[in-house]
Amino acid sequence: MKPLSRYLALSGLCALALTAHAQQWEPLPEHPPIPADNPQSQAKIDLGKTLFFDPRLSEHGTLSCNSCHNVMAGGDDNRPNSIGMHDARGGRSAPTVWNAAYQSVQFWDGRAGTLEEQAKGPITNPIEMGMSDAAVAVGRLNQIPAYLPLFKAAFPAASKPITMDNVAKAIAAYERTLVTPDSPYDRYVKGDKTALTAQQARGMKTFGDLGCTACHAGANFSGPPMPMAQGFFMKFPTFAGSAFDKQYDLLSDTGRHASTGKDSDKHMWRVPTLRNIALTAPYMHNGKVPTLEEAVRVMAKTQLNRDIDATQLADVVAFLTSLSGKFPEQTMPRLPLTSGNSIVPPIDPHLKTAKATD
């Protein structure tokens, strides 16, 4: 980047930091945005939850949405890379599904504009759930008679309720219930000044003073409010050239550019939420940073060009732990059953399988 261009870019970053710092401390809204074409209903939410947990939406009947986005925990799988069909590994870490409904775009690179669009992706991705196409997935559901009344209840106006669009709408409706309000931070900014410890309160101030809110602004700590399908993206690393680039392989994945092909999108990423961040290790898009403390060091150096001291580090980490909210209770759904037949085809005996080690 030419010196003048770099100066203007950094000036803009500083201006954004000042703006974000002035309006950063917002509690999580009680409800996320709900699209007009997919209103919530209890029948739809219940169907979406059932589909979210049903492994029969995967090629071999072994993986569900919950396999990589475990809502019984932090909404991810605490692995660097998730394990997909045929023991495949993706190149990016599974982001948490908790509070994803507050984000205006989905996936690390923002290639899905809505939760509905995102929900379709993994089902037919060959290295995730592995169904060959949407028609095969819908055909699988049509072979389970008990699903039809659930779809009819969720989509009463549909003449053919079991469609891929309705699968995605139902899963998205369930995901919009996966919110974690009432964290210590939320209570603090609502007026309860005892909700944070002294160290967490110091860390909150340090977080703002360092400029972390240039990216992690807003109630969800994922950027300022944006219209749905319009993402808030930032370059990562902004300050390339540190030892962290090689140590954690920060540059080999070009981010949004890999989806759009635009040079201007190289190393641009959707800003992830920091809510429940203490519960979702490992960190970064590739899951290569093992601890929250190290993640803060990496971000300070690569995004702010700062080497933070031990006190700042401890205080910021303490503040980040205050962003863990209350998880609504989740119970496993009873899945619709088949009677006397299997709908999952036998696994190809020629596939390579790993030997058991236990």
pLDDT at 6: 39
pLDDT at 90: 87
Query: Closest Cα to residue 106, out of 237, 218, 256?
Result: 256
Annotation-wise, does 299 bind a ligand?
Answer: yes
Q: Catalytic: which of 30, 59, 117, 128?
A: 128
Q: How far apart are CA 110 and CA 92, in angstroms?
A: 13
**Residue 126 corresponds to which tokens in the numbers above?**
């060959």
**Where, residue-wise, is CATH 1.10.760.10 in the chain?**
13-28+180-321, 42-175
Cβ(211)–Cβ(17) below 8 Å:
yes
Give the pairing of strands 268-270 and 233-235.
antiparallel
Annotation-wise, does 212 bind a ligand?
Answer: yes
Cβ(113)–Cβ(105) below 8 Å:
yes
Q: How far apart are CA 304 and CA 310, in angstroms?
A: 16
Query: Closest Cα to residue 27, out of 140, 145, 159, 195?
Result: 195
**Residue 284 corresponds to which tokens in the numbers above?**
């970064």
pLDDT at 352: 54
User: Would you call 137 helix, strand, or coil by DSSP?
Assistant: helix
Cβ(315)–Cβ(199) below 8 Å:
yes
**Splitting the chain (358 residues) into consecutive groups of 10 residues, what average pLDDT does each group show?**
39 44 80 97 98 97 97 96 92 97 97 98 96 97 97 98 98 98 98 98 98 96 95 98 98 97 98 98 98 98 98 98 97 94 78 42
Query: Which residue blocks in 124-251 are alpha helix, DSSP H?
Result: 134-142, 147-154, 164-175, 184-189, 198-210, 243-247
Annotation-wise, does 215 bind a ligand?
Answer: yes
Residue labelled with tokens 């939760």: 115
Query: Closest Cα to residue 230, out of 97, 96, 110, 118?
Result: 110
* Residue 126 DSSP class: T
Cβ(139)–Cβ(162) below 8 Å:
no
Whether residue 26 lies in the annotated active site: no
Q: Look at domain 42-175 and name its CATH class.
A: mainly alpha
pLDDT at 349: 60
Annotation-wise, does 65 bind a ligand?
Answer: yes
pLDDT at 351: 58
Torsion of CA 138, 142, 144, 150, to 10 degrees: 90
Annotation-wise, does 14 bind a ligand?
Answer: no
Q: What's the topology of domain 13-28+180-321?
A: Cytochrome Bc1 Complex; Chain D, domain 2 (1.10.760)
Cβ(250)–Cβ(236) below 8 Å:
yes
